[in-house]
Amino acid sequence: MNGRKTGSNAMWGGRFAEGPTAVMRAINASLPFDKRLWQQDIAASKAHVAMLGAQGILSAEDASIIMGGLGEVAAEFASGALPEDPALEDIHMATEARLAELVGPVAGRLHTARSRNDQVATDFRLWVRDAVDAVDAGLKTFQSVLIDRAAAHADDVMPGFTHLQSAQPITLGHHLMAWFEMIARDRSRFADARRRMNRSPLGSAALAGTGFVIDRDATAKALGFDGPTANSLDSVSDRDFALDYLSASATCAIHLSRMAEEIVIWASQPFSFVTLPDQWSTGSSIMPQKRNPDAAELVRGHAGRILGANIALMVTMKGLPLAYSKDMQDDKEPVFEAYDLLELSIAAMAGMTAALTFRTDRMRALAESGFATATDLADWLVREADVPFREAHHITGRAVKAAEERGCGLADLPLDVLTAIDLRIDARVFEVLTVDASVASRTSHGGTAPVKVREAIAAARAALEEDA
């Protein structure tokens, strides 16, 4: 770039004739990371100059020249041909400086009726909105994978756990649809955040609005916003949209981490519920038998960093008076990092889930081995023998103890052993003591019965198709 002053900063004006020191330039600069906003910066600048032309604030000729120049700058950004200049603070200065080199002094008219404060607030909001859309698309793909895997395993029995102890038998399809519901709530949080953020700060200027007769509705519409923000002071200092995004990302990361943790546990030899293909695991440098679930472990690890990004921005914002403060330059890196990590984590979870081989034989064996149908015995006593549940609970406990002493399951206890525990038990009880009978009986709304799982899958598939 030629013709640029290095002894003073033309963007700051004549008051700063000596220019910033090297340390000041380094701490003040954000171009190394906010260059990611170049598409949003170009889009917002084009909307702004089009509005200035339509309002007669700029001549049609000047507006046309600037618009063409912005197109050239965008092409250079896209091709990577525009080098970073350390003398320029941020993406906004980089765009304007290159525009001036391409079209001359008329480039200075672009900044009429706007400030870098409303400019960055608009650009960043546009970027976060795009990030929400990208994350939502990834989550939707993951949901499709979960639906397909759940449909294939709607009948396969596995242990359901509480406290990581075998509790009641469920179906694998039911478990996978639980993951689906977690992701559905994540998508709803991102959708809520998007609705709130979809107001345009452009035209708020530095903090007080502008005396030029601008049309904020026009720029908002051009950029796909629902309308302009209501208060100029709040507009330039608001980063709730970034906090909303990070909060939704943090909750989503927690969900992904919980799922990844289950994959780690299921892939371990004591469980052996799943086999990870080579593409989603690594070996050991000294133990040739190892197949490590590194991708799942990294998803679990990324969650901590995403939560940290959320906390970082909250702490940055919690003490700032109105309106803009330079602290807010630190708003972007946590969001960028969280986005990169979350996007990668979602893709990894979708890929792993699609590729897992479920050891349904092993799942069934463990479901049958842990007295998982004890609750079914208690429920049978309540339903068929009119026993109060608390009493039925105690009777069932004695039956479990008897099975433990004989080294067998509840379904394998002889009838005379059961009747010795309580005379109200009869042969019909064996109809509910198998794991298949247990899961089939759970037909309440949201239950694990295969018929209910298939209903949930059908409803979920229909919702995704409607969403498309």
Give a three-class secondary structure readout of 229-250.
Answer: CCCHHHHHHCCHHHHHHHHHHH
What is the pLDDT, as a whole number, of residue 5? 41
The single residue of 59, 188, 268, 284 carrying the catalytic annotation is: 284
Question: How far is 206 from 82, CA to CA, in rounded Å?
Answer: 28
313 vs 92 pLDDT, higher one:
313
266 vs 11 pLDDT, higher one:
266
Closest CA to 371 of 223, 221, 168: 168
Residue 201 buriedness (CB in 10 A; 0-12 / 13-18 / 19+)? buried
Q: Is residue 8 over pLDDT 90?
A: no
How many residues does the structure list for the chain? 468
Question: How far is 413 from 406, CA to CA, in rounded Å?
Answer: 8
279 vs 211 pLDDT, higher one:
211
Residue 35 buriedness (CB in 10 A; 0-12 / 13-18 / 19+)? middle
Q: Is residue 4 over pLDDT 50?
A: no
The first and second tokens of residue 205, run together, are 């200027």
DSSP state of 442: -
- The stretch 150-159 carries a mean pLDDT of 97
Question: How far is 46 from 52, CA to CA, in rounded Å?
Answer: 10
| Range with lowest mean pLDDT among 148-157, 200-209, 223-232, 415-424 | 415-424
What is the pLDDT, as a whole number, of residue 341? 98
Q: Is residue 314 over pLDDT 80?
A: yes
What is the pLDDT, as a whole number, of residue 34? 79
Cis omega before residue 323 (within 30°)? yes
What is the pLDDT, as a whole number, of residue 410? 84
| Range with lowest mean pLDDT among 19-28, 216-225, 384-393 | 19-28
Backbone angles phi, psi at 200, to 5 degrees: -95, 125
Strand partners, 165: 162
**Which pLDDT band holds residue 32 (cuts at 50, 70, 90)?**
confident
* Buried b / exposed e along 398-422 (16+ C-beta atoms within 10 A): ebbebbeeeeebbbebeeebbeebb
Q: Is residue 11 over pLDDT 70?
A: no
What is the pLDDT, as a whole number, of residue 371? 80
DSSP state of 112: T
Active site residue 393: no
Look up tokens 């921005």; give the residue: 313
Spatial contact of 175 and 160, defined as CB atoms under 8 Å apart: yes
| Range with lowest mean pLDDT among 174-178, 314-318, 323-327 | 323-327
Strand, coil or helix: 307? helix
Active site residue 163: yes
What is the pLDDT, as a whole number, of residue 19? 66
**Which pLDDT band holds residue 156 (cuts at 50, 70, 90)?**
very high
What is the pLDDT, as a whole number, of residue 284? 53
Q: Is residue 285 over pLDDT 60?
A: no
Half-sphere exposure of 87 (CA within 13 A, CB side): 15
What is the pLDDT, as a whole number, of residue 357? 95
What is the pLDDT, as a whole number, of residue 385? 87
Q: Is residue 118 over pLDDT 60?
A: yes
Stretch (H or E) spanning 171: strand 165-171
The single residue of 163, 285, 444, 445 carrying the catalytic annotation is: 163
| C-alpha gyration radius of the chain | 31
The first and second tokens of residue 194, run together, are 């998007």
Q: pLDDT tens for residues 424-437? A: 998 888 888 889 98
Q: Is residue 78 over pLDDT 80?
A: yes
In terms of phi and psi (left: phi > 0; alpha: psi -120 to 50; beta: otherwise), the region of 177 is alpha
What is the pLDDT, as a whole number, of residue 154? 97
Strand partners, 161: 166
